[in-house]
Amino acid sequence: MIKKLFLAALLTAGLAACSSPQAPTSSQAAQAPATLSTTPATTPAAASTIHSTPAPGSSTALNPVLSSTVAVSAGTSPVQQTTKRSAISGVPVLAPADTGRWVEGKNYFLIQPAQPTSHPDKVVVTEVFSWACPACNRFAPFADAIRRSLPKYAVWTYLPAGFRPDEDWPVFQRAYYAAVAMGVDTPKIHDAMFNAIWTTGELATYNPRTRRELRPGIENIAKFYAKHGVNAGAFVATAKSFAVKARVRRADQLIKLLGVTATPTIVVNGKYRFTVGDAGGYQQTGALVRWLAQRDAAIMHLKQ
């Protein structure tokens, strides 16, 4: 049923978000106090339908999650393969800031308590995502454009979610941290991962013909990375290592602390979070990112 809704959303070009099956709304999550401590992970949204996805919640370690920097440009969805992301990513997404335009509790939500980042001298913009999330795939070109447009005092990072085990999100979460640990979390491969799942189907998690869930598995993901010069055996071993498992646990904890219940979700400096739907669309997401970043940069006395 979820997949049918997803395909319908794609066909209507919706602003979908992948959310937790029993996830509270953004406003409800904003009222829930954070209870755990974690670390940000590495590297570097429009119809209003929501594609259910996250479950327990995942995020990266304390400062690693909100701090890693990697560029992203994503593949198109199976239904929209004719849409070139290069054309989309060239769209200017950062509109002029307008102090009276954004409403706390509606367009963005405070994270209480705020979570530390690994770049205390920067404004850290974090995308909570999953390669297996269809909404993240659609948002990826815009995320890339926003990332490229950030001022020098800001840095884009990624926090992989694993709250959809039924769609094999945890394996992609481990793959992400394995790539980070091996130093191969490049923008090119990040983009290629979306492409392999949603365009070529090499790592697809769903077969639209048979309507059956697919599980690529870490070994097949390793074969994909091998095409990009990564040792497949070493990749599998890293993905199954204690270090990566620990990082995944910290990511899950951090996602809970941030109050994230859907992907993609944007977190600015560990203090504010919002979805594309909260912002009002892809273009508005870029404008809100810049506005919040500028505000925190002023507080931190950072310069362009």
Q: What is the mean pLDDT of each run of 10 residues along the chain (304 residues)?
A: 42 59 48 31 32 34 37 31 32 46 95 92 96 96 94 95 92 97 91 95 91 92 96 98 97 97 96 97 95 91 75
What is the residue extent of each domain of the chain?
2-6+15-96+107-299
Q: Can you give 57-114 as a three-state secondary structure string?
A: CCCCCHHHHCCCCCCCCCCCCHHHCCCCHHHHHCCCCCCCCCCCCCCECCCEEECCCC
The reported pLDDT for the residue numbered 301 is 82
Q: What is the DSSP string of 177-243?
A: HHHHHTT---HHHHHHHHHHHHTS-TT-SEETTTTEE---HHHHHHHHHHTTT--HHHHHHHHTSHH
The reported pLDDT for the residue numbered 22 is 53
Name the pairing type of β-strands 17-19 and 50-52.
parallel
Task: Tell me the CATH number for domain 2-6+15-96+107-299.
Answer: 3.40.30.10
pTM of the shown model: 0.74
d(CA 71, CA 224): 19
Structure tokens given for 276: 């594309």
Q: Can the peptide bond before residue 113 be classed as cis, meaning omega within 30 degrees of 0? A: yes
